[in-house]
Chains A and B, each alone.
Chain A
Amino acid sequence: MVLARATKLHKSYSLGKTKVSVLRGVNLEVNEGEMLAITGSSGCGKSTLLHILGALDAPDQGTVSFAGEDLFAAGTWRRDAVRNRDVGFVFQFYHLLPEFNVLENVLMPRMVGTSTLDWMSSRKSAIAKAGEILGTVGLKDRLKHRPKELSGGERQRVAIARAIMNEPRFLLADEPTGNLDAKMGKGIMDCLRSLNQKGQTIVLVTHDPLIAKQADRQVRLVDGRIEP
């Protein structure tokens, strides 16, 4: 079953007077439960495509349907809700909030999606859930640490924990190992793979063929199109 389908995506950036076409008619299907790797050389538009798939950016042309719904035909508030509930992002540079500890960072998506009143009643279960997730990524004893007190690999695991906190149907990871050494990178990949084994749909962007090999399926972005 197809979870997300991108059709004829176009995206270009204007740099001064020149226009750089990054995506030139991308068609892509992501099946439910699969782990898909998007590869391509650096600067070919992988991140751009991933952001559009996750409703973080808008295409110039083309559509993205997510679970049958046309994302960019709906209003912004709808995309905000989709980002909160149905999509989890993992970035190359972790992007944790420095003022908050590990537990709070992981709770953040839940807080964003919950009103103050509901939060009061659901707070306990949310904390328990966050603790459980942090346990599965091996950070059970780091709940009260600030991001800057953690190593790169630990930070990325916190980011993964945050991404799956709301049990999204779609996990998007943009070069999750790009900033890590081989050993830490392996840890992260193990983590993602075990999530995928439990049924999590994952789209992984990487320029590293070794990483891409671990996915169920690989596609390559060349000249703004998906190579078959």
Chain B
Amino acid sequence: MYKLFLTFRYLISKWVAVFSVLSVWLCVAMVLIVFSVMDGFLDNIKQHSRGLLGDIIIDNKTLQGFPYYDEFSVYLKEQMPGEIDVVTPVIYSYGIMREPRTKFTQPVRIVAIDFDAYCEVNDFYDSLYYERYYPNTTSLGPVQIPVAGVDSKGKPFLPQELEEAHQKYLKNRDESKVDKTDFDETNYNSPHGVGYFFNEYGTPAMEGDPLPGIVIGTDVAYSRNKEGQYDRGLQRGTKIILTILPLTSGGNIAENPIPVAMRNVDDSRTKVYEIDKVCVYVDFKLFQEYLSMGSLELVDGTYSKPRASQLLVSLTKGQDYNALQPKIEEVWAEFLGTLAGNVTPIDARLLETVGVDTWETRQQAFIQAVEKEKVLVTILFAIISIVAIVLIGVVFYMIVLQKTRDIGIIKSLGATSAGVAMIFIMYGAIIGVIGGILGILTGTTVVANINELQSWLASLNPKMQVWSPEVYTFDRIPSVVKPMVIFAVFCMAVLTSTLGALVPALKAAWVWPVKTLRYE
């Protein structure tokens, strides 16, 4: 009985114990924060990689791409009808984007997509800004400029098509899907506070020549203000010149660079900074032609096969991409067999190197790097924990030395050595429990507000902007607090504190009462 009683009394009467609690507290909070951010980082990478690529990726990792992608799409769906959901080709290329009005230029990565299929194969659709508030108005086909006007009461309104679309949005509005980085009412001149439009005092209209639409990666054109919201400075429909460099199937530059006039129809924020900072999305068929990847008449009068950079495959619900990847690989080999002999040498070279990967293996280098970092951090914190153990050990040793006489007294009253040791071991455990709980509370609070904390720090001093989206992929600090991690960290805290108290506890058990009781 006396053990608990003494433990608690010493706990509240010895203020040095506060140091041990403090060290455990800080350690626990720190471990929790770092682990939550790393776990969030990993989870985000996994989720986004899949969301942006699709389940299976087929490509030969060259810029000129590979032929027969269309035939293979059909073949694959025939061979695995129940398992394949959507197969869609993508072309990747590079170009220069220029905004004629501001003369603003920027190198961009061109992603030519079949809009509808691409939206089905991954989460691209959810990343679109205007499409969120004006559903079904984003299209990569020829588009005009939507110009807002004013009604008889002086209230601005948009062309009917956009007004109706917005009504539809309002009807199906899902608060949980509202992106906090979207709104900054003062900067939006649309009647609805979402989007940036040209306006006139007359009636609203669709104006200008119809030009192909381009979806711009949000970070290509816009930057964020202090509140973390994007200033979308380009009106919807703004003319944009995209200059591209076509390649032949042999990899030579086919023609002079071609400027393509387009209109800004939307912007895409996948939240992966590396993507949003460079990618623009354009129509697949159109750019296949522009990039000389379509069917071309050759010198000998035959036609070349159209090419794509990549095929993205999504599987039907419930299918395991890891299990189906080898099967798709087999189907690809079979497909090559059916082509045998009818392929030009250049095409054969391009087909030879085509591989079938899951999104996971494609991102493996990256995922593994972060996972290795996690191991590193774990080791680091193991070392910090040792420091905490030593600190607790020292503090307790001090207490034991100070209390040597009292330990002697308690023993003279019949306490066993084990009982006295237990006092200090429980003392350590309780400090672990208190420090652990405080640390968990602090850690989870910090994690929950980590982005706000970061912007607050940055507002005090820009040098304290520790999270840089350029380096860390995601534009906001990701985090997940896993119950398992909380549990593990808590157990570690209690264990290390108990361990730290062990040596002093043994020392206390060793105290031989007579020596200390002889004198005052």
Contact = CB atoms under 8 A, between A and B. Distances in A.
Interface in A77-125: 77, 80-85, 89, 91, 93, 95-100, 104, 108-109, 111-116, 118-119
A80 B1 contact: no
Contacts of B4: 116
Interface stretch (B58-66, B236-244, B412-420): B412-420
Interface string B486-520: 00000000000000000000000000011001111
Contacts of B413: 83-84, 108-109, 112, 162
B9 A112 contact: no
A99 B409 CA distance: 13
Given A93-B519, A95-B405, A95-B409, A114 B1 contact: yes
B199 to A, nearest CB: 78
A32 to B, nearest CB: 21
B2 interface: yes
Contacts of A80: 411, 414-416
B185 interface: no
B13 interface: yes
Nearest to B512: A57
13 contacts: A57-B514, A82-B414, A84-B415, A89-B412, A95-B405, A95-B408, A95-B409, A108-B413, A112-B1, A112-B415, A112-B419, A113-B414, A115-B1
A148 B519 CA distance: 17
Contact of A111 (B2, B408, B417): B2
Interface in B220-239: none
A116 B414 contact: no
A87 to B, nearest CB: 8
B162 interface: no
Given A115-B1, A116-B1, 4 more contacts: A80-B416, A108-B2, A108-B410, A162-B413
B15 interface: no
Given A57-B514, A99-B9, A93 B416 contact: no
B9 A100 contact: yes
Contact of A84 (B414, B417, B518): B414
A81 B415 CA distance: 8
B414 A83 contact: yes
Given A84-B414, A85-B414, A97 B406 contact: yes
B5 interface: yes
Contact of A99 (B1, B2, B10, B518): B10
A191 interface: no
Nearest to A80: B416
Given A108-B2, A116-B1, A116-B4, A95 B517 contact: yes
B520 A93 contact: yes
Contacts of A81: 414
A7 interface: no
A167 to B, nearest CB: 13
Contacts of B408: 95
A198 to B, nearest CB: 22
B5 A111 contact: yes
Contacts of A84: 413-415
B513 A119 contact: no
B514 A51 contact: yes
Contacts of A77: 416
A114 B419 CA distance: 12
A81 B5 CA distance: 20
A136 B405 CA distance: 28
Contacts of B10: 99
A111 B520 contact: no
B2 A56 contact: no
A31 interface: no
A191 B5 CA distance: 30
Contacts of A57: 514
Contact of A91 (B13, B417, B419, B517): B517
A47 interface: yes
A139 to B, nearest CB: 19
A115 B405 CA distance: 24
Nearest to A95: B409
Nearest to A86: B414
A135 B419 CA distance: 31
A82 B9 CA distance: 26
A92 to B, nearest CB: 8
Contacts of A56: 412, 513-514, 517
A89 B413 CA distance: 8
Interface in B1-21: 1-2, 4-5, 9-10, 13
A162 B13 CA distance: 22
B411 to A, nearest CB: 8
A111 B517 contact: no
A119 B5 CA distance: 11
A21 interface: no
Nearest to A52: B514
A115 B519 CA distance: 31
B415 A99 contact: no
A35 B416 CA distance: 29
A76 B414 CA distance: 10
A115 B416 CA distance: 13
Contacts of B406: 97-99
Central interface residue in A76, A98, A108, by most chain B CB within 10 Å: A108
A57 B2 CA distance: 23
A203 to B, nearest CB: 15
A99 B412 CA distance: 17
A54 B414 CA distance: 11
Interface string A128-171: 00000000000000000000000000000000001000000000
Contacts of A54: 412
Contacts of B411: 80, 83
A168 B316 CA distance: 83
Nearest first, the 4 closest Cβ-Cβ pairs linking A and B are: A84-B414, A119-B1, A111-B2, A93-B520
B210 to A, nearest CB: 85
Nearest to B406: A97
Nearest to A117: B1
A118 B5 CA distance: 14
Nearest to A85: B414
B230 to A, nearest CB: 61
A112 B514 CA distance: 18
A38 B426 CA distance: 42
Contact of B2 (A47, A112, A118): A112
Contacts of A98: 406
A54 B514 CA distance: 11
Contacts of A95: 405, 408-409, 412, 517
A108 B2 CA distance: 7
Contacts of B412: 54, 56, 83, 89, 95
Contacts of A118: 1
